[in-house]
Amino acid sequence: MKEMAMEGNEASRRRKAIAWIVGIAMVGLMFDGYDLVVYGTVVSTFLRDPTQIGAVDPALAGLLGSYALAGVLVGALVSGAIGDMVGRRRMMITAYAWFSLGMLLTAFTRETGAFGVCRFFTGLGVGALLGTTAAMVSEYAPPGRKNFYNAITYAGVPLGSLTAAGLAILLLDHIGWRGMFMIGALPFVTLLPLSFFKMPESVAWLVSRGRLDEARAIAAQTGIELPAQHAMHAVEEPGASGYRGLFADFLLPTLLIGLMSGTGLILVYSLNTWLPELMLRAGFNAKGSLSFLLVLNGGAVLGPLIAARFADTIGPRVVVAACFLIGTAAILALTLHLPLALLLCIVAFAGVGTSGTQTLIYGLAANYFPTRVRGAAVAWCAGFGRLGGIGGPLIGGLLIAAGLSIQAILLVLAGLALIGAALAMVIPASRHAN
């Protein structure tokens, strides 16, 4: 009976620790999603009102949208270079403080140059967070459910996007674009102190660095079991860590996952930046066009939670490819003249096949590689992929500025989704996930 009680207490501690880690990580990513969409909710204001930050045309709007993504690229890649050395917890806490400050500074800018600099600064923190979160969650999630727990965590991105779109509909006319960016600074006084007290370091990471005493202490606090091969002795994983080990030992899958992530993020950022403007040009009013963002990101929340169950069973590569194909079909269907209700349903499926697919890609990257290079792998996926994120707003802006029809723009995006499916299918099967 005593042993059963001890096992029950350990299981309770484990559930509580995982709940805190996943909950904090998901809320943190909600603000990444908020940052993703908040610019899309205010870009039409900038295009039509030069008194805000100066004159902005579609090409400049696309460029401004890309500054934050350039920051994400740099922040994610830098976090990958040092995250496997300094730890998951330290990187995540630093990221929360960094991007909160960036959002606050952005709210006080008055010209396009300063706006762009502040968006880049914010992106550095967002990138560091994206480059670390999946690694932390994967190292605490129970075996056989790692993709599912990552899907729950990364559902925070579209939830944050939903929040941004919803708040824009309700509050933009009252608080203006500056108020929208001030909301993005809330983690500084909420999430940051909570994570400091409630988020432990990764046990698996501590073990991989040979810091077994610290790993045992946290394992005792959280109920997380030490890896069996390290239970008695501190033995570091063989092979180099960080980017050196990633590119030396896993070059082909690393390149393919990076290209796939970049393709997915072109779709994510193109649609989240330009969908409201496209819908305005299609004849919908301002609030009606923002509602498409709500539906797009609603699909991105629910779809991956279902798809992740299959990913844990049959493997994430096939599921990612299938979701890209869903995105292809949905974007193609948007070129048709359809009733509004059906159009909204299709937009939801487009959310599954774009932002939802990206959620699964992060889970694939986190679970494909061993602990010694996992942080670098997730950072590479988030960082290199942001080349596509940078290109998304730019491509959308250039296509609109070139006078292409809405149908032609959507055909381009559907072709990119098809390329993403092909890349997913040629990634070699993993023999190293843990």
pLDDT of residue 239: 66
User: Both tokens of residue 313?
Assistant: 């069973």
Domain range enclosing 104: 2-425
Instruction: Please report whether residue 316 resides in a domain.
Output: yes
Instruction: Please report whether residue 431 resides in a domain.
Output: no
User: Both tokens of residue 401?
Assistant: 């500025």
Instruction: Please report whether residue 433 resides in a domain.
Output: no
Instruction: Please report whether residue 172 resides in a domain.
Output: yes
Contact 30, 157 (CB under 8 A): yes
pLDDT of residue 287: 63
pLDDT of residue 228: 57
Cα dihedral angle (145, 376, 255, 399), rounded to 10 degrees?
90
Instruction: Please report whether residue 234 resides in a domain.
Output: yes
Candidates 276, 106, 100; CA nearest to 178 is: 106
pLDDT of residue 134: 82
Instruction: Please report whether residue 434 resides in a domain.
Output: no
User: Both tokens of residue 197?
Assistant: 């007290």
pLDDT of residue 285: 63
pLDDT, averaged per 10 consecutive residues of the chain (434 residues), comes to 55 84 92 83 84 84 81 85 81 92 93 92 90 84 83 85 84 91 92 90 84 86 68 52 85 94 89 78 67 80 85 88 95 84 88 87 86 84 81 80 84 93 90 53
Instruction: Please report whether residue 22 resides in a domain.
Output: yes
| 3 state DSSP class of 356 | helix
Annotate 214-273 with DSSP letters as a single string. Answer: HHHHHHHHHTPPPPGGGSSS--PPSS--HHHHHHHH-HHHHHHHHHHHHHHHHHHHHHHH
Task: Kindly report the CATH number assigned to the domain that includes residue 58.
Answer: 1.20.1250.20
Instruction: Please report whether residue 432 resides in a domain.
Output: no
* Structural domain total, the chain: 1
Q: What is the H or E stretch that residue 43 is in?
A: helix 2-48
